[in-house]
Structure 1
Amino acid sequence: MRNPIVDQNFLLHSNVAETLYHEYASKMPIIDYHCHIEAQEIAENRIFKNLTQIWLEGDHYKWRAMRANGISEDYITGKATDWEKFQKWAETVPYTMRNPLYHWTHLELKKPFGIEDILNKHSAKDIYNTASQKLSSGELSVENILKSFNVQKICTTNDPIDALKWHQHIVQSNMELQVSMAWRPDRAMDVRDPKEFNSYIERLEEISSNSISSYSDYLEVLKSRHNYFHERGCRLADHGLEFPFPVDTTTEQEISAIFSKIRLGKNLSEGDQQKMMSSLLYEFSIWNFEKGWVQQYHVGAFRDVNKKGVRIIGKACGFDSIADFNYATSMGIFLNRLEECNKLTKTIIYNLNPKDNEMVATMMGNFQDGSVPGKMQYGSGWWFLDQKDGIEKQINTLSNQGLLSRFIGMLTDSRSFLSYSRHDYFRRILCNIIGNDVENGELPNDMKFLGRMVQDISYNNANDYFDF
């Protein structure tokens, strides 16, 4: 049965919206400046054996939906065959109506596979066979998938201990695609578990060929890794914050004592944990400025909530949710501290709790300095908010509190090569919002200006903003 929903005018509810999308937005290349794709899979031009491998491996959005639908973990992350896992996903899809997964699923089938049928238990076998044949034959290898979506630039997310060898492999290849990386030192900041933290330091010592016995040693080695990333083309930093922005101006002596304590395997108090993480984030932000990097702060995830699930299945497997803490004061103090010493680089802040939309958007306005259009960016709808309602709210908030026309647009934040349909999804929503305003007489019907505006948001602004 053909899908009557995801047609060429999906989400476009006016003639203006259709024109903006088809004649302007849809033609623009994609810059994915934040994702969790593995550079190795790009470098090796991975060929997936079947639809399950590319669609269900590592996709905790789908895993959460399957669990909610009463599907056994055997068919999600367990030992069931790839076909059996796909079959259970197909049975779940009809129950995802009004969840963004329903739209994403059918957008991803349409492009790049050219499949326009509705996925359910009856159509599952034909869809699985058709898509899997295109994948396994190499017709839709990683490189060909990216070309089909018109992806021009990708920025992966990498830990400081990453050797970045696959990025170098891509640079030395003939691939037209540009692949850079973002320096994400979350594990280097996580001092909640002394055993894990010291294990991380051991790996850092190994890759840097330096011993780390003091806090100053630790900073020196991390700075060398920051330099290492820069030399290999890194121009972005990325920080996942599960705590309010730092306000402490702790002395070096105090931080050194805290560091020594954890190196001895001792648990830190919550206060000492906060001081250590705060000190490190401030240092990292200074380094980001010194190298002219863009820094991204992802704020508000409550990770690994289901401890039993994490123990049995692992981290980043769908056991996270939206956190609820207040950070307006601390964020303002932190950004002002950087601004006072002239060390505030281009910054993007993403909030996960929608209650913080207006707060974050207005905070960005406090630190625009006229040096760069949109220097301080209110980031796109992230994680649980990258669906239609969340995207619309983010666009409307930015429109009300800043300059939508200077927005750097969408990203995938995904581990899947099929998630590039989310850029199309975003562009359709953007064009529909603007189209509705024109139809309602709230914006002029100036297609030349509005067309350029949606092209800027879709691609041009990001291309100008990032140096990679």
Structure 2
Amino acid sequence: MTFNDMDFMLTTASAKHLYSFAKDMSIYDFHCHLDPQAIFEDKPYHNIVDLWLAGDHYKWRLMRTNGIAEDLITGEAPKSEKFRAWIETVSRAFGNPLYHWSHLELKTVFGIDEVIKAENWKSLYDRLNNILAGGVISPRSLLRLAKVKFVGTTDHPLDDLVWHEKIAADETIDMVVAPTFRPDEVFVAHANFANFIDRLAIKTGRTITGFADVVAAMEDRIAYFVAHGCQASDISFGAVQYLATEPEQLDEILTKALAGQPLTEEDKAYWQSGIYLALCKLYHQYGLVTQVHFGAVRNSHSRLSGQLGPDSGFDSMGDQIDLADHLNRFLDALASSDQLPKMVWYTLNPSYNVLLANTLANFQANSAGQRSQLQFGAGWWFNDTKTGMIDQMTHYAEQGLLANFIGMLTDSRSFMSFQRHDYFRRILCSFIGDWVEAEEIPNDDDLLKPFIEGICYHNAQLFFNN
């Protein structure tokens, strides 16, 4: 039995056969945090730490768990020592997806097919940097290696999208790189709300004194994004909120926020309800897929978060007692006016998987013939694990149509992260292969081949382009 060979994680003969359909599929990565400037400039990497560890809070979090000093994680320690600390950590990470991802990345990107061990750190460091010294590994080379056909970046609503313009005009870039509209700062709970509204007014040339002015200005920016190839929006909420609102009430909350007056938690909930309902109606009007990530408790370690900033590895799963009520009423408010956009919902807390899949099934009816217009998104963040992926797909199948699932995404800032798609595909094929072996579904390639290929690529391509 060989670790990390062609049959890695493929547990049955059926799984191995199904993987033959999946392994060479292209990638439609509809949500990530890659930098479009880096894609355009395509600068080669020269040190493995810059490529493999920089900005990766998954790895930082695991290193802290292993007792690694912060200087070796986010500090000014020599790169070789940071690499040594990472290798010492990941070599012990049995059961963590980072153990699998790291081996897949070494093998696929660098051709190094060996087990990661602490005593090999220096050999690995030298060999990896020697490969990088050849100047052939760059953002675009990594995208091409992974057969990426579409990249959906995550972009501030006031961004000029100049790097997207440059990418679109460059005929040597043989993939689509599209912006995603991510308006976190238009929510009054955001610390930068007042500054954002000032900048939004300048950007759009509008005077903003009321809620309707905010919505009109946001529509200007949505139209700008759509003109630059945008296919989707995204947002992240701590909790899903829906409270019926009146325009006058939202005007009052806006006035308080812009004046720097303290806002109550109720004010924040009403504003989230009102502005997000208005945005979703615009997303429906402009044909944007609407992605919602919810359930994160952010920056819990206040001392280190204050020192290092957001996205440094101090976030966790949240909970919400009244999720079903708020989610159903929010979706109904859109469906009742026939303004429900195509949506992808991701929960960070897996205990809500069945609730989310079940609720979305209430609102699938549509006159456009869209299959699964409300998607239960792939296991997100702490759930892009073997257990998390299987649990998400189990509930998707039991409450809806897994055949319509749009599959995996990286949701990453790293150009090395595309092996997560292969990881997902292996788990998918073993999951479905178990059904075949148990005779729960037919062993029929005419049925199984399009099923697997759809989830790996075609469903996402159709969902985001229709």
Identify the TM-score tier after normalising by the shorter chain: over 0.9
Q: Which runs of 5+ in 2 are unaligned?
A: none
- Return the alpha-carbon distance in structure 2 between the equivalents of residues 397 and 55 of structure 1: 33
* SS of equivalent residue, structure 2 residue 291: strand
Show the 5 A alignment for 1:194-273. 196-246=192-242, 248-273=243-268
Question: Which residue number corresponds to residue 144 of structure 2?
Answer: 147
**Following TM superposition, by how much is the alpha carbon of 1:7 offset from its aligned partner in structure 2, in angstroms?**
1.1
Q: CA deviation at 1:206?
A: 4.1
Q: Deviations over 1:287-319 (max 9, x none)?
A: 000011111111111111111111111111011
Does residue 285 (structure 1) correspond to residue 283 (structure 2)? The answer is no
Q: Deviations over 1:146-198 (max 9, x none)?
A: 111111111011110111111111000011011012111112214354xx222
Which residue number in structure 2 is paired with residue 114 of structure 1?
A: 111
Aligned partner of residue 149 in structure 2, secondary structure: strand
| Alignment partner of 2:347 out of 345, 351, 356 | 351
Change (3 A) 1:36 1:432: same
After alignment, is 379-388 or 299-308 more displaced? 299-308
Cα RMSD (Å): 1.5
1:294–1:347 Cα contact (<8 Å) kept: yes
Provide Cα deviations, 1:54-78, integer angstroms capped at 9, x if missing partner: 1111110100000111111101111
Consecutive unaligned residues in structure 1, runs of 5 or more? none
CA contact (8 A) 2:293 2:345 kept: yes
How far apart are 1:224 and its partner, in Å? 1.0
The one-letter code of the counterpart of 1:101 is L
Q: Which residue of 2 aligns with 1:43?
A: 40
For residues 215-240 of structure 1, what are the alpha-carbon distances to aligned partners after superposition, in whole Å with 9 as ceiling and x for unaligned? 33322222211111111111201111
After superposition, the C-alpha distances for 1:78-105 in whole angstroms (9 at most, x for unaligned) are 1112222111101111221111111111
Match of 2:153 in 1: 156
The 8 Å contact of residues 241 and 269 in structure 2, kept in 1 or not, is answered as: no
Match of 2:89 in 1: 92
Per the alignment, residue 180 of structure 1 pairs with: 178
Q: Is the 2:215–2:279 contact (alpha carbons within 8 Å) kept by the matching residues of 1?
A: no
Deviation (angstroms), 1:117: 1.7
Q: Which residue of 2 aligns with 1:276?
A: 271
| Counterpart Cα distance in 2 of 1:190 and 1:432 | 45
Q: What residue is the counterpart of 1:65 in the other structure?
A: 62
Q: Percent identity between the aligned chains?
A: 38
Residue type of the alignment partner of 1:276? W
* Mapped partners of 1:79, 1:91: distance in 2: 19
Once residues 152 and 118 of structure 1 are traced to their aligned partners in structure 2, the CA distance between those partners, rounded to angstroms, is 31
Give the whole-Å Cα distance in 2 for the aligned partners of 1:164 and 1:135. Answer: 30
Deviation track 1:311-358 (CA, whole Å, cap 9, x = no partner) reads 111111011000011311110001011000000011111111111011
The counterpart of 2:440, out of the listed 442, 445, 448, is: 442
Q: Would you say how many aligned residue pairs link Structure 1 and Structure 2?
A: 462
The amino acid that maps onto 2:266 is: G
1:331 pairs with 2:342: no
Q: Is the 8 A contact 2:139 2:415 kept in 1?
A: yes
- Structure 1 window deviating more from structure 2 (237-246 vs 401-410): it is 237-246
What TM-score comes out, normalization by structure 2 length? 0.96
Aligned to 1:400: 398
Q: Quick check: 298-307 or 421-430, which moved more?
A: 298-307
CA distance in 1, matches of 2:463, 2:190: 35
Aligned CA distance change for structure 1 residues 267 and 127 (closer, same or farther; 3 Å): same
The letter for the 2-side match of 1:340 is S
Aligned counterparts of 1:212 and 1:137: Cα–Cα separation in 2: 53
What is aligned with 1:426? 424
* Equivalent position to 2:306, from 296, 308, 311: 311
- Which residue among 365, 382, 385 is the counterpart of 2:383? 385
Aligned CA distance change for structure 1 residues 10 and 190 (closer, same or farther; 3 Å): farther
**How far apart are the structure 2 equivalents of 1:45 and 1:348?**
31
Question: For 2:117, what is the secondary structure of its paired residue?
Answer: coil
TM-score (norm 1): 0.96
